[in-house]
A and B are shown apart, each in its own frame.
Chain A
Amino acid sequence: MKIRNRKDSEKMELDLTSMIDVVFLLLIFFVMSFKIVEMEGDFSVKMPLASSSSAVADPTDLALKLRLRANTEGKLTDMSLNDINLGTDFLALQNKVIELIGSTAPVEGEDGPELEIDTDYNLRYEYVIASITSVSGYKDGDQVVKLIEKIKFAKPRR
């Protein structure tokens, strides 16, 4: 038994310095290059040049037009959907959209209603995204119920 003891203590004499150096270098590398990534997603919009799409526009299509107005600081002052004023309430916008397109059933592919967004030039982009969010669907628990998938922009107002 005593002999084994002596062997053990001999093993421990290994020089760990270089390994620890390398391990620390690795650790520092990974810590430095570590970055928490925020989840990002897209609103996919198919937008060909306006002139061609208006020429073949189907008159039976529901033409939804969302007008966004901004004050000089770029803050949303009011919005109207087909000339129905909705103030700045995105929930009201969503309810109006549900009311106008008739059903909350998911609309398939290309045949869904189309919405044109006509916004003041200096309106902040986040309001545009917020309005796109409320017209393109809502969350029902974990399920996303889609409303309008075809979105286009009107000509920029200078």
Chain B
Amino acid sequence: MRVKRPQADMAKGDMTPMIDMVFQLIAFFMVLINFSQTEANDQVVLPSSKLVKPPEAPIEFPIVLHVARDGEVFMGGDSFTAETLKIGLQREIAVIKAEKKSVGDANVIIRAHKDTAAGDVQEVIRVAQEQELVNFALRAKEDRS
């Protein structure tokens, strides 16, 4: 009944190299992990451009608008059309005003899908302009080729 020796033998394998490797892997992924909110949206594939560079300083008061292929606009977690976007923007502007800043300080970041109709993007810009927003950033993917 007490013949349990083979099992005890198995547990005695040397774990050191495996633990070394696993710690290496953990260190690798920990260093590379990026928790920063890249505020991406699955429905948006950005156009690419050779000239854009990642911003050096974080943008002040960003309002990120994702424009999907069919012209649907996403802001925060909600979806809007160009017509209803006004309501969402007013909500954002209320937040900015509550922080005693002017509307002109806000930056509208437009992340539009590369196949979106340009007119839809223009409509979005026009709606934002009507809310007295003046700073726009058209976001593109960096093309290093």
A126's partner among B23, B25, B59, B115 (CB-CB below 8 A) is B115
Complex alpha-carbon distance, A35 and B18, angstroms? 25
Asked if residues A41 and B25 are in contact (CB atoms below 8 Å), the reply is: no
| Chain A proximity mask over B73-117: 1 for CB below 8 Å, otherwise 0 | 000000000000000000000000000000000000100111111
Complex alpha-carbon distance, A26 and B126, angstroms? 47
Chain B residues in contact with chain A, CB under 8 A? 12, 15, 18-19, 22-23, 25-26, 29-30, 32-34, 38, 46-55, 59, 67, 109, 112-119, 121-123, 125-126, 129-130, 132, 134-142, 144
**Residue A39 CB within 8 A of the other chain:** yes
Contacting B at CB under 8 A, from A93-140, are: 119-130, 132-133, 136-139
Interface centre among A23, A40, A120, A128 (most CB of B within 10 A): A40
Chain B hits for A1, CB < 8 A: none
Given contacts A20-B18, A123-B117, A139-B50, 15 further A-B contacts (CB under 8 A): A20-B15, A23-B23, A34-B32, A41-B53, A41-B55, A42-B52, A42-B109, A42-B137, A46-B135, A121-B119, A124-B115, A124-B118, A128-B118, A139-B51, A153-B125
Asked if residues A156 and B130 are in contact (CB atoms below 8 Å), the reply is: no
Question: Taking A125-B114, A129-B138, A139-B51 as contacts, is the C-beta distance between A30 and B30 under 8 angstroms?
Answer: yes
Chain A hits for B32, CB < 8 A: 34
Question: Taking A16-B19, A23-B19, A45-B136 as contacts, is the C-beta distance between A35 and B34 under 8 angstroms?
Answer: yes
Asked if residues A125 and B135 are in contact (CB atoms below 8 Å), the reply is: no
